[in-house]
Structure 1
Amino acid sequence: MSAADPISDFETFYYNQTLDHFNFRPDSFNTFQQRYLINFKHWGGSNVSAPIFAYLGEEEAIDVDLSIIGFLSENAHQFQALQIFIEHRYYGKSVPFRSREEAFQNASTLGYFNSAQALADYAEVLIHVKKKLHAQHSPVIVIGASYGGMLASWFRLKYPHVALGALASSAPIRYFENIIPPEDGYYSIVTKDFREASETCYQTIKKSWSEIDAIASQPQGLSFLSEKFHTCRPLNKSSELKNYLDTLYCEAAQYNSPPSYPVTVVCGGIDGASGNDTLTKIFAGVVAYTGNRSCYVNQPRNLSETDMGWSWQTCSDLVIPIGVGNDSMFPAYQFDLKDYIKSCKAQYGVPPRPHWATTYFGGHDIKLALERFASNIIFSNGLRDPYSSGGVLEDISDTLIAVHTKNGSHCLDILNANSVTDPGWLVNQRKIEVKIIKRWIAKYYADLQAFKK
């Protein structure tokens, strides 16, 4: 199975983090406790400047990452690397102000919650840890998944004096300001995944939306749909059912990983249904994917911290324009920036900055911009991942390398390895990434020796 270290090997620390790195107002100097965890088990020590693998947390508590991210601990032994996992501000136990309620109260307290502040947090923590461990010359490799992968690549660009290199897994850094047309993005890959799995499954899903709407518009139609889909609470509108199905299909495609391949599971249910009508087939797909339950759809749930946090982040500095094209298995939808800004302003009282990500981090003409300036970033993607549509899929230079797999899914390369079920192409992808990182570190040590003379 996986060679990942148990969570008990990690020690928890807190850093007295600055609330606002970019201003000198009195309240900018307020602090909060930022959580990070270190695993010393494999570290060769500061005497030999052994490397540091730093995982940059994304939009959830760091505990989740510790249990599913295997790349660091599975490779720490051969690199003699220290492992550090750093939690993102406003998530988990790294919440500014006195409580989560106060931190999420309004735009005045949420205003410190953005990607630039998070990167500065990571820089401060890493500099602090290196100083504390007398490891000033230990090279740091930052690693991140999804939004965290974006942060890892941006960290290498913004803080090259802190990180030698970055492994950015499933990082859609080109998914801003219509660098890719919104309708050619996320949903086009979900559609492609389903269509490749089964043409009949794709056709069934494609025609189901209008059937749901047609039934919902009839007297007692919503009651019929509630009964048909065994909903946990009666449906108030057809969009509740459609949103549930949309999320289910997207989740299946995004995490369409071995050994189960969820898209194949959903389509197996749809194509193998005993009934002939479309909605019987759709419900069979739901049951195949989720398993037998007492009820489906409208399940009671509280908003998670990821729901709350990501909602703010995508309504402030990370405006990701997602649309649906006419060839999709989903109903066509055109992303309207004006409506989006209006909606965010109604929710938070302040408008988003849709151009900020590309202003601060870049993204347009990425090859031209980064080819001569940047180095040491691996952009890894699985092409079945809908977010790969916004990823870097071609090498930019000898040291800005795209590593992708045709059948890979979201962040699969850095999740816990499974020696029994991982296919050869996935094992190989990880080996390539390790080889590249070894090359960076070997060159760094050679430079370190040369500059000491």
Structure 2
Amino acid sequence: MFVLCCSKHSSIQRQLFRRCAAGEKSRMRVLALLALLGCLQLTAAGLPFRLRPRGPWRGSSGPRAQPELSQPAPLISQCKEMWRPTRLDHFSEANPSEFQQRYFVCDKHWREGGSVFFYVGNEADVLLYLNNTGLMWELAPKYNALLVFAEHRYYGQSKPFPAKQLRKNMEWLTSEQAMADYATLIWELREQLKDPDVPVIGFGGSYGGMLGTWFRCKYPHLVDGVIAGSAPIWTYKGERPPYDDGSFAKIVTQDASAEGGSAPACASNVREAWKALMHLGKTEEGRQTIAVALQLCEDSRLDGKADVRALRDWAASAWDYLAMGDYPWPSSYIVNGAQPPLPAFPVRAACEHLADRDLPDDPPALLRALRSAIGVFYNHTRDLECFSFKQGPNPETDEDADFWGYQFWPEPFDEKATIEGCKATWGVTPRPLWATIQWGGRRLEGCSNIVWSNGLLDPWSGGGVLQNITGAKDLVAVIIPEGAHHLDLMFSNPADPPSVCEARAVEEHYIAKWIREARGRPQPSLLQHGALLAAQ
């Protein structure tokens, strides 16, 4: 078992009260927030905001009516779908080709003198982020914000090539090219708004948070600050100290244990299920037992050990996704918006099928229980008659995972196998050290104005920024003990733990600060302009 320890900052004694972002619908309308003075002291000391749970908070126990999400519907009706030409290759004059990039503009709350909230799109249709990034929507009225949701090239409908040609033309699918798309888009937006100094605040979760971090470091003149939720920017080779490549699995295990609020026997039963799979997979008879117990489809025949290993990895992936989406309320975010949603605390729901400590004594029963557990993810629609370990939960998730496999390697990382896999699948040879060389690894002192949030239920938090970065301005870490994958970026919900409400308040504090600073930045005087012209 793996337990993440949460330190307490007892020196922070002053508190101020603030309404939770859930407003009047919250079951806890007023929550204690760390005093801003204390928060700034923590920042100066290089310590993260570690938002403490109020006692042994585990969410509601027992059956109850599921809370309704507080987001307005339909959000798309408040936005305009826009298209713009952008260069296929921003870094070569030899290729002037362009393609159409999609983005959405939502101007209901925009007022002259307001701000731009810019979602740095990641590896899915941008509507997924438009419909789930509640922090932007809930803060927009207060800051007269124009909401912009930009779609990442190659995903959603921003395809540079027809579907049949796409996989043969992947060389322009890079983070650098995507950020250049966003840079030119923000430049154009400022011109259209006729406000070259309009404050722009970036938002991004997961890979979007990674892009947001790198974008702020590379294009600080275009974005004034970034809220980066669950951004595992420290997962690359060459970092010092090195990334713990076992941290992801450790946190998944934590979520599936009593420490994560799950049935105590769950994690150990899952480990026994892996052993049972590999033992039974040695013989034809055993593989038939596996196929029956897991209700495998005809196209998922187990012809040998390689198939059994692939089956095991497929089953393990369900736990990875469930841990990322271990939200305290039903959500379809992790399944790309497909309905119906996963249940509240889906890891706990899956673990209910593996709660019996005696299951390892009956391997077929153990595997049937595993089937029901992973079905919480793979059969969230509850209409599958059999399972295929060659497919994901839906085509959209499959395509996104496929292209993600082109951009990033899987965990655990086997460098040699990954390089060979990239050559065989895509015809490219990855550069394992390039991300650290390009983006600085843990040396981010030259950057500024970034808040990184990480939930300790999220397995990606092991590669996230968990400490404030000293020697720089506003490089702040916010820790959410009960949070899953960028929970703080989602819409407020009555079931939210207190710590996520506090995280959003800390993030708003910095958003407001960056907007004030952007509007107050000094402008060149006429005398300075004259001196510059004379020099030219």
Q: How would you bin the TM-score normalised by the shorter chain?
A: 0.7 to 0.9
Aligned to 2:311: 241
* CA–CA separation in structure 1 for the residues paired with 2:210 and 2:236: 12
CA–CA distance in structure 2, aligned partners of residues 434 and 362 of structure 1:
27
Deviations 1:325-378 (A, max 9, x none): xxxxxxxxxx43122111111112221111111111111xx2xx323x211001
* Aligned residue type for 2:157: K
Name the residue aligned to 2:14. Answer: none
In the other structure, the counterpart of 2:324 is: 254
Residue in structure 1 matched with residue 166 of structure 2 by the alignment: 103
More off after superposition, 394-403 vs 84-93: 394-403
SS in structure 2 of the partner of residue 187 of structure 1: helix
Alignment correspondent of 2:70: 2
Aligned to 1:298: 388
Change (3 A) 1:451 1:339: farther
Deviation string, structure 1 residues 255-313 (Cα, Å, up to 9, x no partner): 11103212211222211489652442453354253566553421775884664455455
Percent identical residues = 32
SS of corresponding position for 1:183? coil
In structure 2, how many angstroms separate the alpha carbons of the residues matched to 1:21 and 1:54? 21
1:271–1:281 Cα contact (<8 Å) kept: no
Rounded to whole Å, the distance in 2 between the matches of 1:217 and 1:165 is 55
CA contact (8 A) 1:59 1:88 kept: yes
Residue 315 of structure 1 deviates from its aligned partner by 4.0
Partner of 2:425: 347
Q: Does 1:94 align with 2:158?
A: yes
Which residue number corresponds to residue 277 of structure 1? 362
- Residue 187 of structure 2 corresponds to 127
Note if 1:77 corresponds to 2:141: yes
Aligned to 1:267: 351
Cα distance between partner residues in 1 of 2:275 and 2:488:
38
Partner Cα distance (1:349, 1:450) in 2: 51
Q: Secondary structure at the match of 1:77?
A: coil
Amino acid at match of 1:377: I
The CA deviation at 1:173 is 0.4
Partner amino acid, structure 1, of 2:124: E
Q: Is the 8 A contact 2:450 2:474 kept in 1?
A: yes
CA distance in 2, matches of 1:164, 1:410: 24
| Superposed displacement of residue 150, structure 1 | 0.3
TM-superposed CA distance for 1:429, in Å, is 1.3
Is the 2:455–2:486 contact (alpha carbons within 8 Å) kept by the matching residues of 1?
yes
Q: CA deviation at 1:232?
A: 2.8
Amino acid paired to 1:386:
P
- Deviations for 1:355-408, whole angstroms, at most 9, x for unmatched residues? 111111111xx2xx323x211001111011111111001111450000121111
Q: Which residue of 215, 226, 231 maps to 2:296?
A: 231
Deviation at 1:198, TM superposition (A): 4.1
Deviations 1:116-148 (A, max 9, x none): 000000000111111012121111011111111
Alpha carbons 2:293, 2:367 under 8 Å: kept: no
1:423 aligned residue (479, 494, 497): 497
RMSD: 2.5
Are the aligned partners of 2:238 and 2:436 in contact in 1 as well (CA < 8 Å)?
no
Which residue number in structure 2 is paired with residue 394 of structure 1?
A: 467
Q: Write the distance in 2 (CA, Å) between the matches of 1:294 and 1:339.
A: 33
Q: Residues 33 and 96 of structure 1 are in contact (CA less than 8 Å); yes or no, is this contact kept in structure 2?
A: yes
Cα distance, 1:20 vs structure 2: 0.6
2:345 maps to a residue whose letter is: Y
- C-alpha contact 2:266 2:351 (8 A) present in aligned 1: yes
Distance 1:224 1:62 in 2: 42
5+ unaligned residues in a row in structure 2: which ranges? 1-68, 330-343, 528-536
Give the letter for the 1:360 counterpart. Answer: Q
Instruction: Give 1:54's aligned amino acid.
Output: F
Q: Within 5 A, what are the aligned runs for 1:365-444?
A: 366=442, 369-371=443-445, 373-397=446-470, 398-418=473-493, 420-444=494-518
Tell me, yes or no, if structure 1 residue 176 matches structure 2 residue 176: no
Aligned residue in 2 for 1:330: none
Give the equivalent residue in structure 1 for 2:224.
Answer: 164
**Separation in structure 2 between the aligned mates of residue 249 and residue 66 of structure 1, nearest angstrom:** 26
Q: Cα offset for 1:428?
A: 1.6
> CA separation in 2, counterparts of 1:374 and 1:451?
27
Q: CA deviation at 1:73?
A: 1.0
Q: TM-score, normalised by structure 1?
A: 0.87
Task: Report how far residue 94 of structure 1 moved.
Answer: 1.0
- Are positions 1:153 and 2:180 aligned together? no
Does the 8 Å contact 1:273/1:284 carry over to 2?
Answer: no
Q: 2:123 aligns with which of 27, 44, 59?
A: 59
Unaligned runs of 5+ in 1: 324-334
Could you tell me how far 1:235 is from its partner in structure 2?
A: 3.1
Contact kept? 1:139, 1:441, Cα under 8 Å: yes
**1:332 aligned residue:** none
Does the 8 Å CA contact 2:238/2:433 hold for their aligned counterparts?
no
Distance 2:386 2:311 in 1: 10
Q: Give the letter aligned to residue 15 of structure 1.
A: R
Partner of 2:84: 15
Question: Does the Cα contact within 8 Å between 2:236 and 2:243 map onto a contact in 1?
Answer: no
Q: Does 1:44 align with 2:122?
A: no
For 1:203, which of 268, 288, 298 is the aligned residue? 268
Give distance in 1, aligned partners of 2:450 and 2:122: 18
CA distance in 2, matches of 1:358, 1:279: 46
